[in-house]
Structure 1
Amino acid sequence: MKYAIAFAAMLASTSASAAVISSSVGGVPVGANVYESFDAIGPGGTTASGITVSFSGTDAGTASLPNVSGKYAAPFVSGGNGTPFGNAQADGKDVTQYLTTGIGRVTLELGDNHQYFGILWGSVDAYNTLAFYAGDMLLFTYSGSDVAAVANGDQGAAGTYYVNINSDTAFNKVVASSSGYSFEFDNVALAYKPITDVPEPGALALFGLGAIGLAAARRRKA
């Protein structure tokens, strides 16, 4: 019985997910090995790093203008945090292409499993949300209020944060959404970590029977 309880506890621990978030103005990616600038999105919405981008809702899409009044404003690059993404501009509004949710969503199909996600999140609002998925299963979400103590859509340099999220559960899809104008972001960083498969109950039982049989055979030889 104690083995069944232990196995059930192991399954329970794999079904729960937790993540640690940190954010700062002028922050940088931590421990990433994939850097995506979204400057070039090819046919089918796929980037050079293998992320597939799709848009839904009102005014969701790419943007390359500093701002459109009442709709979106470019995130700020500061502290040289655009450099890993090929953007070595001086501190100021992002002059490269970035993404905006409008009143809708931007879906990032990552094409692989990851446990680290970094994002340059501009003019953070309380109604901006990041949702993390493994396939179609929602793992966890963060809102703008989790990023900034005062998430009031500040369009200046102090309103853009580089956000680092580390998860104990692998995800392969991230959805940025906003219920009001707008959620602007750029410079997503990822770190790949392979998933260790949990044995199926039947396989674990067969392994246990095999181990018992092997131990019995050894006792007979002794």
Structure 2
Amino acid sequence: MTKKIYLTAITGVFFLSLTSSVNATTINYFSQDSDADKTSVYTYFDNFLIETFNQAPINTAPSGSLDQSWTWTGSANVVNGSASGQYAAPFGTTSRDQSNYLSVPNPSSSGSITAQLGATYDYFGLWWGSVDTYNTISFFNGSTLTQSFTGSDIKNGNDEYGNQTAPSTNVYVNFLDLERFDSFVLTSTSLAFEIDNIAVGNAPVPEPATMLLFGTGLVGLSSLRFRKKKK
């Protein structure tokens, strides 16, 4: 019995290593109760940073009065509340976001905004309000486009795109195992792309003990295969 458990553990370690090496991006979703609900952010990541937009004056483009020292350029405004035909505050489990958030574009009906981060990351999260198919997030490393996702890629149970109160289209969205990026672009070809609580971070580097376990697992598998051949 002990031998079987040991071999299963080895196989599990090997499988995890294979899945982490392909660098496939995973998207998952959490309910955001309010602006104060940071449990939706993946705190598993090392030293993650979060931008709440709460330090910025409303009805202005994001500038130096922010939580993070990112450089913003483009067409967007920090807003609060909702304005008919322009933007709607992201909806939580019971009510709308009561804090400041970012609306892209503003005031035109098409535009984008870029955030230069000053470092590279592989995790991105945001509270995405009333997800629309014409909303796009693009990730860059330098001048190279690494990955891009539209609202159509956000599948959370149904296709109620643009619904301002549906739980499936007002969620905290986590992008895991992204290709490394140092800037992102938020684009909307219509009104609007509403965003709050943007987070970036890096997956932790495997500890030496974990790598040793993986190496031991490979040796164990090789030995088992050799003994089988010998028989």
Give distance in 2, aligned partners of 1:145 and 1:151.
11
Q: State which of 185, 207, 212 in structure 1 corresponds to 2:195.
A: 185
Computed over aligned residues only, the root mean square deviation of the Cα atoms, in angstroms, reads 2.6
1:55-66 aligned within 5 A: 55-56=74-75, 60-64=76-80, 66=81
Q: Does 1:23 align with 2:35?
A: no
| Alignment-mate amino acid for residue 186 of structure 1 | D
Match of 1:172 in 2: 182
Match of 1:129 in 2: 136
The structure-2 alpha-carbon separation of the partners of 1:118 and 1:44, relative to structure 1 and needing over 3 Å to count, comes to closer
Match of 1:218 in 2: none
Give distance in 2, aligned partners of 1:177 and 1:97.
19
Match of 1:155 in 2: 164
| Alignment-mate amino acid for residue 68 of structure 2 | S
Shift of 1:96: 1.1
Give distance in 1, aligned partners of 2:195 and 2:30.
15
Match of 2:113 in 1: 106
**TM-score w.r.t. structure 2 length?**
0.63
Question: How many residues get paired?
Answer: 164
Partner of 2:179: helix, strand, or coil?
strand
Shift of 1:20: 1.9
Q: Does 1:36 align with 2:51?
A: yes
Q: Structure 1 runs of 4+ off > 6 angstroms? A: none
CA contact (8 A) 1:119 1:164 kept: yes
Q: State which of 88, 99, 115 in structure 2 corresponds to 1:73.
A: 88
Give distance in 1, aligned partners of 2:26 and 2:166.
24
CA contact (8 A) 2:52 2:67 kept: no
| Alignment-mate amino acid for residue 180 of structure 1 | S
| Alignment-mate amino acid for residue 109 of structure 1 | Q
What CA deviation, in whole Å up to 9, does each residue of 1:8-40 have, x standing for no partner?
xxxxxxxx9742222244481112421220112
The structure-2 alpha-carbon separation of the partners of 1:18 and 1:108, relative to structure 1 and needing over 3 Å to count, comes to farther
Give distance in 2, aligned partners of 1:121 and 1:136.
25
**TM-score w.r.t. structure 1 length?**
0.66
Q: Does 1:95 align with 2:101?
A: no
From the two aligned structures, give the one with the greater strand fraction.
1
